[in-house]
């Protein structure tokens, strides 16, 4: 995903999550390489360059380099989950800057491995008969992959959890922890963005597929080739 929020082309099929380590000390890098060479559920790379064809699924870095990582996030990886590590004094600043997890010194690689499995949980689902994958901050389809915001992820997770069923608008507001009286258009905005991203990830969707509006009720995700019911847009 580039700085304008556009989707990148997907380069290869997904195996385990790709973890990119930033600003890694040589001794730690050696130990990390030795460990992850012996597991098959995580792919690792060591580079401070985040402007690569394939975005990582998780960024791991020392909390002492937090300011530089925040700057790097502006190159299109702000949606990528981040794990920082370091002294407890940097825990608050790390979470405040958007990190999803923090490893407090001293930590070991076994602990990191477990945290990684918790940070990236991919879920497969169907839209218009096409198979896609989603995770916090991430959406991938047969044509491309892109980032999704936290709010978009919460909305999509509800739809994916109830395929071909109408999810009432009130349920979305409850999940987003927003007041419908003050943020009445918020869900509509997320739905509009998700429709565009699903279309891009799949390539094209039949008119009767995708996220449909049910007037006065809510939205539903058409997983297969079901024909739109009366009252749907």
Q: Read off the pLDDT of residues 98-140 as tens digits, 9 standing for 90 and up.
A: 787 899 999 999 999 988 876 666 678 888 888 888 877 778 8
Q: How far is CA 6 from CA 126, 159, 199, in A?
A: 22, 23, 12
pLDDT tens for residues 150-182? 788 889 988 988 888 999 988 888 877 666 566
Going from the N-terminus, what domains does the chain have, and what CATH number goes with each?
8-119 (3.40.50.2300), 123-222 (1.10.10.10)
Contacts for 205 with CB less than 8 Å, ≥ 6 apart: 127, 128, 130, 198, 199
Q: How far is CA 13 from CA 38, 129, 130, 157, in A?
A: 21, 18, 15, 22
Q: How far apart are CA 210 and CA 233, in angstroms?
A: 11
Please provide the average confidence, as pLDDT, over all residues in the chain: 80
For every residue of 152-192, DSSP letters joined together read HHHHHHHHHHSTTSPEEHHHHHHHHT--TTT-TTHHHHHHH
The answer to pTM > 0.75 is no
Q: Compute the radius of gyration of the chain from its Cα atoms.
A: 19
First vs last C-alpha separation in the chain = 29
Peptide bond preceding 26: is omega within 30 degrees of 0, i.e. cis?
A: no
35-49, 113-127, 206-220: range with lowest mean pLDDT: 113-127
């Amino acid at each position: 995903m580039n700085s304008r929020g556009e989707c990148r082309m997907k380069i290869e099929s997904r195996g385990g999550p790709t973890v990119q380590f930033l600003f890694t000390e040589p001794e730690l890098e050696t130990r990390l390489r030795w460990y992850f060479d012996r597991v098959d559920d995580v792919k690792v790379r060591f580079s401070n360059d985040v402007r690569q064809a394939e975005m990582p699924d998780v960024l791991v870095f020392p909390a002492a380099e937090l300011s530089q990582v925040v700057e790097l996030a502006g190159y299109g990886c702000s949606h990528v989950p981040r794990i920082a590590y370091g002294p407890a004094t940097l825990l608050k600043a790390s979470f405040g800057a958007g990190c999803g997890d923090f490893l407090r010194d001293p930590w070991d690689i076994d602990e990191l491995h477990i945290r990684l499995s918790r940070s990236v949980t991919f879920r497969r689902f169907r839209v218009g008969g096409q198979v896609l994958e989603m995770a916090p901050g991430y959406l991938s389809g047969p044509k491309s992959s892109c980032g999704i915001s936290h709010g978009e992820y919460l909305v999509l997770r509800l739809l994916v959890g109830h395929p071909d069923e109408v999810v009432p608008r009130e349920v979305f507001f409850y999940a987003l922890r927003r007041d419908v009286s003050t943020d009445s258009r918020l869900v509509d905005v997320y739905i509009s963005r998700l429709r565009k991203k699903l279309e891009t990830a799949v390539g094209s969707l039949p008119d009767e597929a995708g996220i449909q509006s049910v007037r006065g009720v809510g939205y539903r995700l058409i997983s297969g080739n079901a024909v739109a019911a009366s009252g749907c847009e």
